[in-house]
Copies of this chain bind each other. A is one copy, B any other.
Amino acid sequence: MPVSQRVRTALERASWIRKMFEEGARLKKELGPENVYDFSLGNPNLDPPERFREVLRELAQEDPPGCHGYMPNAGFPEVREAVAAYVSKEQGVGLTADHIVMTVGAGGALNTVFRAILDPGDEVVVPRPYFVEYNFYLDNHGGVLKTVATTEGFDLRLDALDEAIGPRTRAVLINSPNNPTGKVYDRASLEALRDLLDRKSAELERRIYLISDEPYRKIVYDGVEVPPVLEIFPHAFVCTSYSKDLSLPGERIGYIAVSPRVDDVALVTGALTFTNRILGYVNAPALAQRVVGRLQGVTVDIGVYRRNRDTLYRGLLEAGYDCPKPEGAFYLFPKSPIEDDVAFVRELQKENILAVPGSGFGGAGHFRLAYCCSYETVERSLPGFRRALDRVRRG
Q: Which A residues form the contact surface with B (CB < 8 A)? A: 2-8, 10-11, 14, 41, 43-44, 47-48, 53, 56-57, 59-61, 63, 65-71, 104-105, 107-108, 110-112, 115-119, 122, 133, 136-137, 140, 207, 247-253, 262-264, 267-268, 270-271, 274-275, 277-288
Residue of B whose beta carbon sits closest to that of A42? B70
Residues on B with C-beta less than 8 A from A264 are 2
The residues of B that contact A59 with a CB separation of less than 8 Å are 60
Chain B: minimal CB distance from A12 (Å) = 11
- Tell me which of B3, B56, B105, B285 contacts A116 (CB under 8 A): B3
Expressed in whole angstroms, the Cα–Cα distance for A280 and B138 within the complex equals: 11
Contact B3 A117 (CB under 8 A): yes
How many copies of this kind of chain does the complex include?
A: 2
What 12 new A-B contacts, CB under 8 Å, besides A7-B275, A140-B140, A252-B283?
Answer: A4-B118, A4-B271, A7-B116, A10-B274, A11-B267, A41-B70, A47-B68, A56-B60, A68-B250, A136-B278, A250-B283, A251-B285
Contact A137 B278 (CB under 8 A): yes
Question: Given the known A-B contacts A2-B207, A247-B69, A263-B2, are A281 and B268 also in contact in the complex, defined by CB atoms under 8 Å?
Answer: no
Q: Are A107 and B252 in contact (CB under 8 A)?
A: no
Please state if B268 and A119 are interface contacts (CB–CB under 8 Å). no
Q: Which residues of B contact A122 (CB under 8 A)?
A: 4
A262 and B2 within 8 A (CB): yes
Instruction: Select A3's contact among B43, B63, B271, beta carbons within 8 Å.
Output: B271
Chain B residues within an 8 Å CB radius of A111? 279-280
CB distance from A310 to the nearest CB of B (A): 24
Contact A285 B282 (CB under 8 A): no
A63: chain B residues within 8 A (beta carbon): 53, 56
Choose among B67, B110, B118, B262 the residue that contacts A280 (Cβ–Cβ < 8 A): B110
| Smallest CB separation, A80 vs chain B (Å) | 14
In the complex, what's the smallest C-beta–C-beta distance from A195 to chain B, in angstroms?
A: 21
Taking CB atoms, residues of chain B closer than 8 Å to A287 are: 251, 285, 287-288
Closest 5 CB pairs of A and B: A250-B286, A107-B280, A136-B278, A111-B280, A68-B248
A68-B251, A250-B283 known; A268-B3 Cβ under 8 A: yes
A76: shortest Cβ distance to chain B, in Å? 9
| A65 and B41 within 8 A (CB) | no
Q: Which residue of B lies closest to A118 (CB)?
A: B4
Given contacts A47-B65, A70-B41, A271-B11, are A108 and B281 in contact (CB under 8 A)?
A: yes
| Contact of B43 with A68 in the complex, beta carbons under 8 Å | no
A281 with B281: CB separation less than 8 A: yes
Contact of A249 among B70, B104, B110, B268 (CB under 8 A): B70
A17 to B167 alpha-carbon distance, docked (Å): 35
Closest B residue to A271 by beta carbon equals B3
Q: Which residues of B are found within 8 Å of A115, using beta-carbon distances?
A: 4, 7, 140
A219 to chain B, nearest CB (A): 16
CB distance from A314 to the nearest CB of B (A): 28
Query: Which residue of chain B lies nearest to A58 when distances are taken between CB atoms in the complex?
Result: B60
A304: shortest Cβ distance to chain B, in Å? 14
A284: which B residues are within 8 A, CB to CB?
252
In the complex, which residues of chain B have a beta carbon less than 8 angstroms from the beta carbon of A280? 104-105, 107-108, 110-112, 137, 140, 279, 281
